[in-house]
Amino acid sequence: MEITAKGLEVSLGGASILKGAGLRVPAGQTVGVIGPNGSGKSTLLRCIYRALKPSGGAVFLDGRPIEWDSVRQSAQKMAVVAQHNAYSFSFTVREIVLMGRSPHKRALERDGPEDYRIVAESLAAVGLEGFENRQFSTLSGGEQQRAVLARALAQQTPCLILDEPTNHLDIQYQLQMMELVRGLGRTVLAAVHDLNIAALYCDALVALKDGEVVGSGPPRSLLTPGFLRSVYGVEAKVVTDGDGFLRILYQPGALRAKKSGAP
Amino acid sequence: MPRAGRNGGLLRGRTAFSVAVAALLAALPASLLAAVSFGTNPLPLGDVYAVIQWELANRLLGWTIPAEWAPGAALHDVVWLIRLPRLVLAAAVGACLSLCGAAMQAVVKNPLADPYILGVSAGANLGVTLAVLLGVGAAAGGNFVGMAGFFGALGASFAVISLANVGGRANSVKLLLAGSALSAVCGACSNFLLYLRNADHAAAEVMRWTMGSLGAANWENNGVMLLAALGGTAFFLTQSRTMNLMLLGEETAVTLGTDLRRYRTAYLAASSLLVGLAVYSAGIIGFVGLVVPHMARLLFGTDHRRLIPVSVLAGALFLLWADVLCRTVLPGNELPIGVLTSLLGAPAFLYLMARRRYGFGGGD
């Protein structure tokens, strides 16, 4: 399923957060949204997963405007792992993941063996077997993140939207999570903080700055030293290592040199 | 018990839940029959049950009641017209209040919500006061006091939610502040009205509402209350999945396919109806709606599919026995039920608060 966003505009509290941002995620591909803090990455994703209604522009799934669907129908097409997942009531991990089945349920329908099988599979996929009866609030940040990913997997949607999914995760789980998400063969749109992770796992990147798209394309052509300087204001080397992977190496003191006005 | 806090509740598994619900269901009629033998005047147990048996036989099978047990005989009237309706009312009101507590906690996504704390009861009380003193809504017919209580509750619940949303999204502190502010305003208005009218009977009448009393129970009103309790329970049982999603918040619920806004309004309206009826029948009875759902959560976890049946049954049993205690704890005198539930409920609430492992279902 292809995700398209066109000309999204959002203002919050008088400040313009998105100024006509758009992107396209071809079916089955993984696209990363990059950009400095406050560039509008989360806002862009929230418009796409319908938590926020943009004042301008539109979002399409396979060319169909998302407003034409009920939120229930949308939840059958895309699942979301958001950044903030603190709940003031605690559920067990099983209950949290089971809620991923709710878009497929009618009001009075009970959870069946099939649902429990999907929950078990989803938990296994994120490496949380045996956590079913643990209370969600007692999990570590990384475990919570993985439990929420398991819930998104239990939704069995063609699209996945991830807002900084590797936040809070140890490097082992960062790599595992991105590999897992890629391996699903679904259409994935992810806001990614770490440019090296983005370069390793994304088919294409969309860069945001101040609510506007300032560049897009495959990591290898987008991530150049000049681009990193203009978007993030840092000095970096971009190299291809012996195994053919793209690596971004940041230069210490680069910011200081820049601030002191050195040419 | 270090394991307890790590899991959904102290009692886990489908079997434990089924056994508990069956036990609570069985305990309800058993408690009714046991509690009916308590009272200011000791009555022989055999006589008490004879009255109930003959009444039931008369109603269900059309048997004629012997004069000894018939309406008009002192024994009959004490058992059938005073004690039993009062216990049935206690059970129905207890069920309604616990149910509303659980619903309100989901609606405002806050474990501190309860009809009493959020000012809804005070709103209902103001409605009742207006009706009793000024005859507001008398045109609506015989049950206009109840209607006033209902609209007071409805108005207060929406007022608290919208006040809490002024200047940014509602959070627990703002909700509590809005609730106590509204309670104070409603209380002040009620008191002002009482002061102005200066009618002794009215003051006593309103006093009865604010401290809670099951003394006015009668079968006609009990029918309404029982219907409300059963209907409310049935309604919220069908809403368990949505109530679970409510606790995850607006955005997460949308990504899981549910737009919460219309559900919130429906739940508020249903809760207000139940609280309004409960206030009309028994006045303000605090802390039941707060403590009982938390106890149920402690035992069975947060999932509303379990929480609702357990809360309803436990609330009914709790208020039923609280009423017995009210009538027996002071010899020759009766403690207002609202006083007793607050005396019992507040320490229980503080205990839950101090118990970090419970943490009202988990921390931020």
Is the predicted pLDDT of residue B361 greater than 80, yes or no?
A: no
Amino acid A258: pLDDT: 54
Among A124-133, A242-251, B8-17, where is mean pLDDT lowest?
A: B8-17
Minimum mean pLDDT range among A239-248, B32-41, B74-83, B115-124: B115-124
**Quick check: B247 and A86 CB within 8 A?**
no
Give the residue from B17, B109, B256, B356 with the most A CB atoms within 10 Å of its CB, the best one to mutate.
B256
Distance (Å) from the alpha carbon of B32 to chain A's nearest alpha carbon:
32
Query: Looking at A114-128, A152-166, B176-190, which range is the least confident one?
Result: B176-190
For residue B140, is pLDDT > 70?
A: no
Strand partners, A80: A161
> Per the CB < 8 Å rule, is A138 touching B6?
yes
* Cβ count near B98 (within 10 Å): 33
Highest mean pLDDT among A9-13, A57-61, B45-49, B329-333: A57-61
Residues from chain B that touch A137, judged by Cβ atoms under 8 A, are 359, 361-363
Nearest CA among B172, B160, B162 for reference residue B118: B160
CA distance A238 to chain B (A): 37
The mean pLDDT of chain B is 81
Query: Which residue of B lies nearest to A160 if distances are taken between CA atoms?
Result: B255
Q: Are residues A93 and A199 in the same domain?
A: yes
Q: Which domain holds residue A175?
A: 3-223
Query: Same domain, yes or no, for A182 and A123?
Result: yes
Q: Are residues A45 and A64 in the same domain?
A: yes
pLDDT score, position B364: 37
Give pLDDT, residue B363.
42
User: Is residue A101 less than 8 Å (CB to CB) from chain B?
Assistant: no
What pLDDT was estimated at residue B11?
64
Instruction: Please state the rounded mean pLDDT for residues A204-226.
Output: 92
Residue B240 has pLDDT above 80, yes or no: yes
Confidence of residue B355 (pLDDT cuts 50, 70, 90): low
Q: Which CATH number fits domain B71-362: 1.10.3470.10, 3.40.920.10, 1.20.1560.10, 3.10.450.50?
A: 1.10.3470.10
Half-sphere exposure of B311 (CA within 13 A, CB side): 32
Nearest CA distance, A157 vs chain B (angstrom): 11
Count the Cβ atoms, other than its own, within 10 Å of residue A51. Answer: 20
Question: Which band of pLDDT confidence, cut at 50, 70 and 90, is reported for residue B362?
Answer: very low
Q: Return the closest-CA partner of residue B175 out of B187, B189, B163.
A: B163
Instruction: Write down the pLDDT at residue B322.
Output: 92
Spatial CA neighbour of A48 closest among A69, A19, A76, A78:
A78
| Helix boundaries (H) for B36-76 | 45-56, 74-76
* Residues in chain B within 8 Å Cβ distance of A71: 254, 257-259
Of A85, A179, A97, nearest to A137 (Cα)? Answer: A85
State the pLDDT confidence band at A205, using cuts at 50, 70 and 90.
very high
CB contact under 8 A, B249 and A71: no
Question: Which residues on chain B are in Cβ contact (under 8 Å) with A155?
Answer: 256
Least CB-CB distance to B12: which of A85, A88, A133?
A133
Domain shared by A153 and A233, yes or no: no
A:32-61 residues touching chain B, CB 8 A cutoff: 46, 49-51
pLDDT value, residue B2: 34
Q: What pLDDT is attached to residue B197?
A: 78
Q: Name every chain A residue with its beta carbon within 8 A of the beta carbon of B111.
A: 88-89
**Confidence at B3, pLDDT banded by 50, 70, 90:** very low
Which of the two residues, B1 and A222, has the higher pLDDT score? A222
Give how many domains chain A has, as a whole number.
2
Q: Which residue has the higher pLDDT, B133 or B176?
A: B133
CB contact under 8 A, B248 and A87: yes
Task: Tell me which chain A residues have a C-beta less than 8 angstroms from the C-beta of B360.
Answer: 88-89
Say if the Cβ atoms of B362 and A89 lie within 8 Å.
yes
Reported ipTM: the value is 0.86
A51: which chain B residues are within 8 Å (Cβ-Cβ)? 250-251, 254-255
Among residues 181-220 of chain A, which lie with CB inside 8 Å of chain B?
A: none
Average pLDDT rounded to a whole number, residues A63-82: 92
Predicted local distance difference test score (pLDDT) of residue B300: 86
What span, in angstroms and rounded, lies between the C-alpha atoms of B147 and B140? 8
Question: Considering A208, A223, A238, which residue would you say is the last residue of a domain?
Answer: A223
What pLDDT sits at residue B304? 92
Instruction: Choose, out of A88, A122, A137, A151, the residue to mutate when testing the contact with B (most B CBs < 10 Å).
Output: A88
Exposed / middle / buried, residue A60 (Cβ in 10 Å: 0-12, 13-18, 19+): middle
The strand pair at A3-12 and A15-25 is best described as: antiparallel
Structure tokens that stand for B274 in this block: 């139940």
Residues in B closer than 8 angstroms to A74, CB to CB, are 257
Average pLDDT over residues A48-64: 92
Contacts of B249 in chain A (CB under 8 A): 87
**pLDDT-derived band at A164, boundaries 50, 70, 90:** confident
If you average pLDDT over residues B32-50, what whole number do you get? 81
Window from A141-145, B148-152, B203-207, B275-279 with minimum mean pLDDT: B203-207
Beta strands in chain A (DSSP E): 3-12, 15-25, 30-34, 56-61, 64-65, 78-81, 159-163, 187-191, 204-209, 212-217, 236-240, 246-250
Looking up residue A216, the CATH number of its domain turns out to be 3.40.50.300
Q: Phi, psi (5° rounding) for residue B124?
A: -60, -40
Q: In the structure, what pLDDT confidence band is assigned to residue A5 with cuts at 50, 70 and 90? A: very high
- Whether A133 and chain B come into contact, CB under 8 Å, resolves to yes
Q: What per-residue confidence (pLDDT) applies to A155?
A: 94
pLDDT tens column, B76-85: 888 888 889 9
Contact predicate A1/A158, CB 8 Å: yes
The chain B residue lying nearest A78, using CA atoms, is B255
The helix-helix angle for B13-35 and B288-300 (nearest 10°) equals 140
Q: Compute the average pLDDT of residues B329-353.
A: 83
Please check whether residue A74 touches B, CB under 8 A.
yes
Looking up tokens 């958001």 gives A82
Instruction: Assess whether A206 and A233 both reside in one domain.
Output: no
pLDDT digits (tens, 9 = 90+) for B242-274: 999 988 888 889 899 988 877 887 888 888 888
**pLDDT at residue number A96:** 92
* Angle at the Cα of B30 from the Cα atoms of B28 and B36, rounded to 5 degrees: 100
**pLDDT at position B7:** 43
Query: Which residue from B minimizes the CA distance to A103?
Result: B257
